[in-house]
Amino acid sequence: MNGVLIIDKPAGLTSHDVVNRVRRILSQRSVGHLGTLDPMATGVLPIVVGNFTRLAQFYVSSEKTYEGTVRFGFCTDTYDAEGEPTTDIKQVRLSQDELEPAVAKFRGLIEQEPPPFSAKKIKGVPAYKLARKQKEVHLKPVQVEIKELEVLGVEVDRMRFRARVSSGTYVRSVAHDLGKALGCGAHLESLRRTSVAEFSIGEACTLEELMGAASKSTTREVAESAEDSNHPIKALLELFIHPRKLLSDMPSVTADEATAARIRAGRTVNLLELSRARQVKVFAGQRELIAIATRVAGTLFHAKIVLCST
C-alpha cells in the first residue's frame, strides 16, 4: 500500500503516536509523517505510507498555515498552554489597534530563537531533554519567514490569528516574543494547522474515519479492488490523496510501457517534452506514480527514487 493520507490530528497525541496508530489500522510497517505537530496542536498531519515514505525528502522545506489563539498576561516555560507559568499573571486588556503595530514587526524575515522545549539539538541532545532536567538551554536564533500574520480578532487578553510561515518557524516562539514586545508576557493557547505544502484541512480525515474504512478491507482486497468503483474498499482508497496532486510544483509525465520499464530498472530515459525541468514525476497510467526522475543532461533523465518497481 503506497500513498499519502492527511490526518486531522487530535489534541493530546504526538505525531509519532498518530504514525503508530496508522501502522496498526492499515497493518503497514512503513509509515511516516511530513512535519511534526506539537501534542496540543490539531489539524493537518500528512502521513506517507509504503514506498511513498521516500517522498519525505521533497517536503522538508514546506510552507505551513496555522490558525490559533495567543493569551496575554503571562509566559510559560514551553511557550504554550501546556507549560508552567514563568512570570506573574497580569490582568491585560488589549485592543486590535494596540496589537497591530507589534504584530507588524513579526512579518517578513525575522531572527527567531527556538523554544527551550523543542527538538533542536545541543551537542547532539534534544533541547527538551535538557529543559526537562531544568538545565539552562540557549539555542541560536535562526532566520525564518512569516509570510502572513493576520489578527482575526481580539477579546480582552486573547488574540485570534492566522499565520503562513516558512519551514522551521515556531509559532510558540512568535506568541512568546510578542508578549515580550508588549511587556505583558504571552503564550500560545491553541493552534490548528490548516495546510502543509499542497495539503489542506479539507482533505483530512480523522483516525476514526480511517479505522472505519480500513475495517472493511485487507491489504490484498485494496489492491484487487483498486479499479472497481463499486467495491466497498473504495472508501479506503478515496481517503488517500490522488498521486497526481502530490508535489504540485513539479511537472509530470506519463510514460509508455517501454519507458516505464527502463525507469523501473534504473536506466536513463529520454523525455523530450520536459527538457527544461530539473525533476519530474513519472506515472504509468493515470494514478501509478512510479518514480521521481532528475535531469542528467539535455533531455536525459534518471530516476532519483523508484516508488514502484513492478
Residue range of the domain that includes 139? 64-190
Q: Are residues 217 and 106 in the same domain?
A: no
* Mean of pLDDT values over 31-59: 94
* Mean of pLDDT values over 201-212: 95
Closest CA to 112 of 78, 135, 139: 139
Q: Are residues 76 and 150 in the same domain?
A: yes
Confidence of residue 59 (pLDDT cuts 50, 70, 90): very high
Domain annotation covers residue 245: no
* Mean of pLDDT values over 74-86: 93
Q: What CATH number did the domain enclosing 209 receive?
A: 3.30.70
Domain annotation covers residue 24: yes
Q: What CATH number did the domain enclosing 255 receive?
A: 2.30.130.10
Between the CA of residue 17 and those of 11, 24, 97, 172, what are the distances in Å? 11, 11, 41, 21
Confidence of residue 217 (pLDDT cuts 50, 70, 90): low
Q: How many domains does the chain have?
A: 3
Tell me what pLDDT residue 128 has: 66
Tell me what pLDDT residue 298 has: 84
Q: Are residues 223 and 287 in the same domain?
A: no
Domain annotation covers residue 299: yes
Tell me what pLDDT residue 35 has: 87
Mean pLDDT of the chain: 89
| DSSP letters for the chain | --EEEEEEEPTT--HHHHHHHHHHHHT-S-EEESS---TT-EEEEEEEEGGGGGGGGGGTT--EEEEEEEEES--BTTSBTTS-B-S--------HHHHHHHHHTTSEEEEEPPPSSSS-EETTEEHHHHHHTT-------EEEEEEEEEEEEEETTEEEEEEEE-TT--HHHHHHHHHHHHTS-EEEEEEEEEEETTEEGGG-B-HHHHHHHHTT--HHHHHHTTT-TTSTTHHHHTTBPPGGGSSTTS-EEE--HHHHHHHHTT--EE-GGGTT-SEEEEEETTTEEEEEEEEEETTEEEEEEES---
Q: What's the predicted TM-score (pTM) here?
A: 0.88
More confident residue, 262 or 231: 262
Q: Are residues 71 and 153 in the same domain?
A: yes
Told to judge if 38 belongs to the known catalytic residues of this protein, a careful annotator would answer yes
> Is residue 226 scored above 90 in pLDDT?
no
Tell me what pLDDT residue 145 has: 97
Domain annotation covers residue 244: no
Domain annotation covers residue 287: yes
Choosing from 8, 17, 38, 256, which is the catalytic residue?
Answer: 38
Q: Are residues 90 and 79 in the same domain?
A: yes
Percent of the chain's residues with pLDDT above 90: 68
Tell me what pLDDT residue 106 has: 96
Q: Are residues 155 and 177 in the same domain?
A: yes
Tell me what pLDDT residue 272 has: 74
